[in-house]
Structure 1
Amino acid sequence: GYADGRLYCLEEDSGTVVLIDASPDGWNERGRLTLSPQTEQRSERGKIWTHPVIANGKLYLRDQELFFCFDVSQ
């Protein structure tokens, strides 16, 4: 996802989210987090397919039956 001049990249295997400031000159990692807990309903070769949603300074992520909300306004 992209919002407020920042990329929110979700790694579909590990559940790691990286917050990146990107510009024509390059990129800078601003933060990183890993979804925990993760679902037990995903198959062994399954992935996290949902897209990150950013609204009103909040990052929303879903992993099967689990739903996460992170304050990314800072």
Structure 2
Amino acid sequence: MGRSPCRFALFCLFIECSQLYQAGWINDIRATVIGALILGKGFLAVDLVRYAAGIGAAYGLDRFASILGGESKKR
């Protein structure tokens, strides 16, 4: 379990804050399907809450699975 949820949170924060940058060239990329999926279209503060909830849920499930996996090996 070498993955830190803080790294994922920083990555999400970077992506969300990058949506505040609205230069013409990056908006042209955002106008494509793949660009919109990767970069998003606009900044929404509520997305930061959603990211935090998703990261927390994934981290909790990973911890739970590692505990269950550790218990099954002891039997």
What TM-score range do you get, normalising by the shorter chain? Answer: under 0.3
Under a length normalisation based on structure 1, what TM-score does the superposition of the two structures give? 0.23
Under a length normalisation based on structure 2, what TM-score does the superposition of the two structures give? 0.23
Give the helix-richer structure, 1 or 2.
2
Give the strand-richer structure, 1 or 2.
1
Higher RCO (CA < 8 A, seq sep 6+): 2
